[in-house]
Structures are given as C-alpha cells and as structure tokens.
A and B are shown apart, each in its own frame.
Chain A
C-alpha cells in the first residue's frame, strides 16, 4: 500500500548491544491518529525518535509522504514533536517557545505572520493570556499546552506525540486528550501517538499498533484487534479488564482447560492439522458468563470484588488461576461466594505457549 503518509520498514536499533527495535513495520495513513501502544521499554520512544530523525538506525527505511527520509536531518522532515516531560526551552518565554520553529532557518516566517499564527494557536489552546510568561512559572498542564501549541503552529506534515499527557493527572489528561482529538478533526492532521495507557489509546486513536520488545505485534482498529488478536501479549494489553487466560490442552477432539469442568470442542478453533499439545486459551471477559455452580459450568469462587458504583468488576478464582471480569447488569456477587462460569460458544483464542502467536483460526475459517 502506498497511500500511507508514514511508512516504517524494518527499523532496527541496538543500544550497546541491547536491541531496542527489532524490525518495526508500520504505516500511518493520512489524517488518522495512530496510537503506538506498549509497556515501558517496548520501543515506543525509539520508534518516535527514529521517525523524527533523532536516532541513528542500524537498519530500516522511513518513507514520509512518498519520500525516503531515512538519511534526512530532523530539520528536513517537516514534523512536530511533543515529549512527555521536558518540552519547553527555559531560555525563552512562552511566546518565543511557540514561535521557535517559525524563526528557524528551515521554517522561517516574517514576524507579523509569526505574531498572527502564535496568537491564533495560543487562543486555540486557551493559553493566550500566558504568552509573556516565563515558562518556569507554568503548571504542568499549561506547559503541555504550550508544547502542543508549538507543534501545531507550523502545520507540519505530521505530529509525533511521545506520551504527551502521561505526566499529567487524570482529569487534565482526559481534558487535553479530547481537545487534541478536536484539533485533529478541525485541522485534518496526522498523528503518531505513543502511549502505555490502553484507555488513552482507544479514546483518541483511529488505529492502534501494539508494540512489545521492539516489534509491532499487531496493528489495526480496536474492533479488528478484538476480533482476532494476533498474540497473547495483545490480549494482555487490550481490554478492560484484559483477556482471561487459561492453560489448555488438545485431547483428541476436545480442548481441556486446566481447573475447569467445561470442555470446548476443538473443531471451533479451526486448528491446523499439525498443531497439537498445550496452549494458552485466551478469552475476552465479555465472552465469559458467570452462572450458578453446576450444570456443566466450571466451578469457581469470587476472589475479590471491585464495586465501581456504575458497574462491578470481580476477580474469579477457578482453582488453577484468576481472571477479571465486569459483571453484567443486575448481577451481584460477594467476596468468597462460590459460582460457576461458562465460556461462550465459539469464543476464545488459542495461543502458542512459547511464542504467544495465535494458532486458532476460527474467524478466518468462518469467512
């Protein structure tokens, strides 16, 4: 596909022999927000920095707007970047920080135009009253607004946001996130948004790339990822609560689950004929029904209850492990209570025990 605005092909980078990127492949399409979701140390920041040209890559190619920019200086890439913590140059005031790019050799504008654009952008982010201030006197939220203003003021090809809201408290974060979304819609901009926060990613992104150990495990819309998670790790990171995992083994035509009475027919998983042995069975909690004990259901007990007022999440102990689930409306469970659960027909995915790769193919089979 060549309609991507940004294409990363096989990016590799090691720091002192420790690989940080082991072959990153991803595409960001025009006018979308692409969230790079992964835990700390997964390679999110390295990917963003490589895109910006701030990293000397060991291997790989970066195509930006149809142009190979792999060896181009950061200044020649026409990108904007917002970091997590340190964004503002302490030797400049708020106005000069926002105007910073517009005075550079690469993106110079005349002063009247700069004044107009800075004023407009500052109003958009509601920081116009702070333009004369020293950046060291700003609060954390104000600082990030100024940083976003500096990124916006130039209208670059694309925005790189590296955990831009992670240092802020929850309320500020949610507010600024929806503002970003709003600005994105008005300006038709393209963003690569790195975050470790699942909720943050799904609420802002059009598509998500799950990254771990320097590789993109899967990218797609959140619906696509739910429909066919590529890897057990994706299941652990996605969902709230995340996927429930069980030890499972293929026994003739049956899938037997450790600690559970329920037996699943192997046929529903469309396993390749050469696949056998033990797996990890991953099931979205929404596909598990908590029932009364007995009548073919697996027996379990309630390990912990987390009542959030509008909904109630429980942790279920099925003997061989635990999983979390939000209860259906009207259902009530107490801590220590015995119960049963059933995995819905056709639900669940089988993952290889060592690589985490999905080995079941029921969705593809159905199509």
Chain B
C-alpha cells in the first residue's frame, strides 16, 4: 500500500523533507518506523527516541502501536507547542 508520510518541526529538519509517499506493507506505525529507520541514517536519527515523538493517523493523534490498515496519511512530529 501507498502511504503519505508527513514530517513537522525538527523531525522534518532531520529527515530533510516535509513529506513523501512510502510504499509499505507495515501493519502498525511501529513497523513503519522500523522500516524507515533501516533506510538511511537521517531516519534513524529522527526516530531515535520515540518518547519525544507524536504520531497522527489521518490527522488524528494516535499511538505507535496503532494499525495502519486503511490509513492514507501518517504524520510524525514532536510534542505540540500551540497557543
């Protein structure tokens, strides 16, 4: 399946691009992270500490063990600082 993967703030800076289309068979967010980390060092660096990251599935805050079935858009970012 094809998934749009978005990066924000320092995650975007570490990876070097704001979004990309990823071809994956990952069943969960964690599996997708594992695949990305294995690709290149910049991904490994961006995902080195999952506790400092948040994930949204189709624009809704979610968890790293959530399933990816039916998901079109995954976004990774640090804790939000709005307001």
A and B assemble together = no
Interface residues of B (CB under 8 A from A): none
